[in-house]
A = this chain, B = another copy of it.
């Protein structure tokens, strides 16, 4: 299959009636460099195809149906979401398959999930029979079927049962529940935060853990059809994890400062930045910009202990040391440039997923030009 050379970015949802330029945008504004984003999307799609991996990207990063549609057009087998509200929003992308990588609990959410399952195939990743039983009941009442992935913990210590007896017990339980279809196992290797030697060793450990787990399931007659894992930091090492059949990276579409400092992309692969304006230079050696924790989120760096909140594109020597809700503090003593009130800067955030969630709309740009405005339709969908 040949990948399309370009995408229909100026979609019907967000036509720009006349040319618009970055200089016309008010700040703070979240910019997406479309050339970089397209390259990121294409590279992951080609990698997945070359290694015969299903790509089911996590849309929590972008939260925009038009971008999910692009991922699907490039060959993604389906998409991933974390919340029922995100699933509802993402139906606009017409996905053939939708994974909810989160244990969904409670009658009203399950009723909404049934409604989603009437429009596309829905799989839920879960780690308890409590959740599975509710899901089975809802499927029966709603006359649908849900796929299920049994979640294992591979080192993050978050959700997921321990591979071994607990997993076997969970899968046996799933197989007994009607209206659920056991599809396989899933995990999230979020403990691998950096691709240094330790990180590569963690990937090798994951490979060994998975091999032992799959061998055990084979012996029990419970072999999974799908083995779903992967994150953006581990994305291009997925082929080293034998047995893996599916990957669910999210951040790779834009990348961010965490991804870059983890060694999982280069600075020039970071597609998203936040345009801010200098609003105060009252204190020598410091400038204040008009974006703080309500614009960037206060997520810290994950791969390093450094406390700083972004990379300033036009002044790489500036250090984003602190933030209040609407104020970003830049230490510019080593910035190498003079900054005045009114100057505009682009800052690459530490964590693009939480930053996207704070913006009502974002701007797709090519060069100086704003090519498309996207509503972040999936933002704030907490339920």
Chain B contacts of A27 at CB under 8 A? 106, 383
B109/A26 in contact, CB under 8 A: yes
Closest B residue to A60 using CB positions:
B325
Tell me, rounded to whole Å, the shortest Cβ–Cβ distance linking A293 to chain B: 6
Chain B contacts of A128 at CB under 8 A? 280-282, 341
A294/B354 in contact, CB under 8 A: yes
Tell me, rounded to whole Å, the shortest Cβ–Cβ distance linking A100 to chain B: 11
Closest B residue to A190 using CB positions:
B324
B326/A383 in contact, CB under 8 A: no
B359/A380 in contact, CB under 8 A: yes
CA A45 to CA B166, docked complex, whole Å: 57
B282/A153 in contact, CB under 8 A: yes
A382/B353 in contact, CB under 8 A: no
Contacting B at CB under 8 A, from A137-192, are 153, 157-162, 166, 190
A340/B130 in contact, CB under 8 A: yes
Known A27-B383, A160-B282, A294-B354; 8 more pairs at CB < 8 Å: A28-B382, A82-B326, A153-B283, A158-B280, A291-B382, A295-B382, A298-B299, A325-B354
Chain B contacts of A298 at CB under 8 A? 297-300, 354
CA A109 to CA B60, docked complex, whole Å: 31
CA A357 to CA B380, docked complex, whole Å: 9
User: Per-residue CB proximity of A331-375 to B under 8 Å, as 1/0?
Assistant: 000000000111000000000011001111000000000000000
Contact of A279 among B105, B279, B354, B379 (CB under 8 A): B105
CA A128 to CA B99, docked complex, whole Å: 52
- A108 interface residue, CB < 8 Å from B? yes
Chain B contacts of A166 at CB under 8 A? 282
- Contact A106/B277 with A293-B297, A341-B130, A380-B359 known, Cβ cut-off 8 Å: yes
A82/B325 in contact, CB under 8 A: yes
Interface SS of A by simple majority? loop
- A257 interface residue, CB < 8 Å from B? no
15 A–B contacts, CB within 8 A, in A order? A27-B383, A82-B325, A102-B326, A130-B340, A131-B279, A131-B341, A158-B283, A160-B280, A291-B382, A293-B354, A295-B382, A298-B299, A359-B380, A360-B380, A360-B382
Q: Which 7 A-B pairs have the closest CB atoms?
A: A159-B280, A130-B341, A103-B279, A26-B383, A82-B326, A127-B282, A298-B298
- A320 interface residue, CB < 8 Å from B? no
CA A241 to CA B291, docked complex, whole Å: 31
Interface centre among A282, A300, A360 (most CB of B within 10 A): A282
Closest B residue to A156 using CB positions:
B324
CA A166 to CA B282, docked complex, whole Å: 9
Contacting B at CB under 8 A, from A255-310, are 277, 279-283, 286, 288, 290-291, 293-295, 297-300
A282/B161 in contact, CB under 8 A: yes
A327/B282 in contact, CB under 8 A: no
Chain B contacts of A42 at CB under 8 A? none
- A83 interface residue, CB < 8 Å from B? yes
- A329 interface residue, CB < 8 Å from B? yes
Tell me, rounded to whole Å, the shortest Cβ–Cβ distance linking A311 to chain B: 18
Contact of A358 among B29, B83, B131, B357 (CB under 8 A): B357
Contact of A108 among B26, B153, B295, B383 (CB under 8 A): B26
Chain B contacts of A277 at CB under 8 A? 105-106
Chain B contacts of A28 at CB under 8 A? 382-383
B105/A341 in contact, CB under 8 A: yes
Contacting B at CB under 8 A, from A64-90, are 82-83
Chain B contacts of A358 at CB under 8 A? 357, 380, 382
